[in-house]
Amino acid sequence: MAIIELCVKAAVGAPDVLGDCPFCHWVLLTLEEKKVPYKTHLIDVSSKPEWFLEVNPSGKVPLIKFDDKWLSDSVVIIGLLEEKYPHPPLSTPAELSSVGLEIFDKFVAFLKSKDAKDGTEHALLDELKALDEHLKNHGPYVNGEIITSVDLRLAPKLYHLEVALGHFKKWTVPDSLPHLQIYTKSLFSRESFEKTKAAKEYIYAGWAPKVNV
């Protein structure tokens, strides 16, 4: 099996260390779960190398090399990985692919919020409650017993939520959402996640400029 080349974000202030991009993390998790060999290029997004911009003028990560062609966009990359490496299958049934889709945007809005009464916390809690309810009825994963791509997409975002909100707002997922708490622990304890997660200090460093504006 050929080794895949993948460009991912380097840590803020530490260009030789894996950074905090949840979309890069989703691709890394997929490669690990499928046991596909890969080599990473860490990209300092504040000073992108010339060769990277030549093959990828948009400058976005993740970026993957397939058959001598560089491709960006995590959704496209995940689809191609599923097609090229179908085992184990990770595709999510279409009707479940949008489960939890709004959580990340609501988390970012709450994280950046300076007004406790602006409704951003409530909006995030509504999304988390919906996911908890889905897991209660269909869990332990979004599609039942078997992990699929939607779980691998959610895992990095829930990690950012837990780490960043805990650090900047001293906020945690409430105990009234036990299915979500179990789900999160299960995802975070997977070998693929342990191997590919950014260290907490780099999650803080990545969000600090956006929180302190």
Cα gap 205→167, rounded to integer Å:
11
Instruction: Please give the chain's pLDDT, 213 residues, in tens.
Output: 678 999 999 999 999 999 999 999 999 999 999 999 999 999 999 999 999 999 999 999 999 998 889 999 999 999 999 999 999 999 999 999 999 999 999 999 999 999 999 999 999 999 999 999 999 999 999 999 999 999 999 999 999 999 999 999 999 999 999 999 999 999 999 999 999 999 999 999 999 999 975
Which amino acid is located at 7 in the chain?
C
69 and 17 in a common domain = yes
- For residue 69, is it within any domain? yes
192 and 124 in a common domain = yes
Q: What is the pLDDT of residue 213?
A: 59
Q: Which pTM does this prediction carry?
A: 0.96
Q: What is the pLDDT of residue 212?
A: 75
122 and 75 in a common domain = no
187 and 138 in a common domain = yes
Which amino acid is located at 66 in the chain?
F
| CATH code: domain of residue 149 | 1.20.1050.10
Q: What is the pLDDT of residue 2?
A: 77
50 and 122 in a common domain = no
102 and 207 in a common domain = yes
Verify whether residue 7 is a known catalytic residue.
Answer: no
8 Å CB contact between 92 and 138: no
| CATH code: domain of residue 42 | 3.40.30.10
198 and 100 in a common domain = yes
Catalytic residue among 4, 21, 77, 161: 21
106 and 72 in a common domain = no
168 and 119 in a common domain = yes
Residue whose pair of structure tokens reads 């409530």 in the numeric block? 122
- For residue 89, is it within any domain? no
179 and 100 in a common domain = yes
- Structural domain count of the chain: 2
Buried/exposed code over 22-54 (b: 16+ C-beta within 10 A; e: otherwise):
bbbbbbbbbbbbbebebebebbbbeeeeeebee
Q: What is the pLDDT of residue 200?
A: 97
Q: What is the pLDDT of residue 137?
A: 97
